[in-house]
């Protein structure tokens, strides 16, 4: 995945972040990795790619189990996935939109997350999410590329980790 653009913008002081990159895989492979095979590269995130479906992410940070929950808002196979999610301590949910578009050398993946301005810790959280989304987008692209070539094992994340972080730069 090559970084095309990283932008932190929006109304007020840092309401949104956008990452845009190109993956060397077709939109169908990215969609499959994002929605059907996500547990192989992002095992803590669970949801069905259907509007209204519940979403849950669980991870350990500083020795504590953390949880974010939400709902899938939109699902257009191979094109767009949107969800809202929130941790218990957030004052409001954040909205995340993945957009996929064919490109000559693969697929342009655009991730847009909004709602940080409504949170008391929005600026700090925006920075953390920018770093986290870079990590997850790199793994999504790497998994889709491997999967499209028939190289993605059942537990892909155990053997590869985040070795592709160098592919996305701000």
Residues 97-116: b if buried by 16+ CB within 10 A, e if exposed: bbebeeeeebbbbbbbbbbb
Mean pLDDT confidence for 148-169: 50
| Mean predicted lDDT score pLDDT of the chain | 83
Name the band, by pLDDT with cuts 50, 70 and 90, for residue 69. Answer: very high
Percentage of the chain lying above the pLDDT 90 cut: 56
Mean pLDDT confidence for 131-150: 89
pLDDT for residue 81 is more than 90 = yes
pLDDT for residue 2 is more than 60 = no
Q: What is d(CA 163, CA 22) in angstroms, rounded to the nearest whole number?
A: 17
Mean pLDDT confidence for 10-16: 60
Q: What tokens does 42 get?
A: 């992002």
Of 126 and 170, the one with more pLDDT? 126
Asked whether 41 and 159 are in contact (CB, 8 A), the reply is: no
> What pLDDT was estimated at residue 20?
87
Name the band, by pLDDT with cuts 50, 70 and 90, for residue 94. Answer: very high
> What pLDDT was estimated at residue 156?
45
Name the band, by pLDDT with cuts 50, 70 and 90, for residue 40. Answer: confident
pLDDT for residue 145 is more than 50 = yes
Mean pLDDT confidence for 139-147: 89
> What pLDDT was estimated at residue 9?
44
Asked whether 60 and 51 are in contact (CB, 8 A), the reply is: no
Mean pLDDT confidence for 70-75: 98
Domains of the chain, earliest start first:
2-160 (3.30.530.20)
pLDDT for residue 48 is more than 90 = yes
């Amino acid at each position: 995945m090559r970084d095309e653009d990283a932008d932190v913008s929006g109304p007020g002081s840092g309401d949104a972040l956008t990452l845009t990159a190109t993956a060397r895989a077709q939109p169908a492979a990215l969609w499959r990795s994002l929605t059907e095979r996500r547990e192989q590269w992002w095992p803590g995130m669970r949801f069905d790619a259907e509007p209204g479906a519940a979403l849950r992410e669980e991870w350990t940070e500083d020795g504590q189990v953390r949880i974010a929950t939400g709902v899938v808002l939109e699902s257009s196979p191979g094109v767009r996935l949107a969800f809202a999610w929130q941790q218990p301590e957030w004052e409001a949910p954040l909205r995340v939109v993945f957009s996929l578009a064919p490109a000559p050398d693969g697929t342009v993946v655009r991730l847009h997350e909004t709602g940080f301005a409504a949170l008391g810790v929005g600026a700090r959280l925006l920075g953390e999410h920018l770093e986290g989304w870079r990590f997850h987008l790199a793994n999504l692209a790497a998994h889709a590329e491997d999967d499209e070539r028939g190289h993605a094992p059942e537990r892909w994340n155990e053997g590869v980790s985040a070795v592709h972080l160098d592919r996305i730069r701000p």
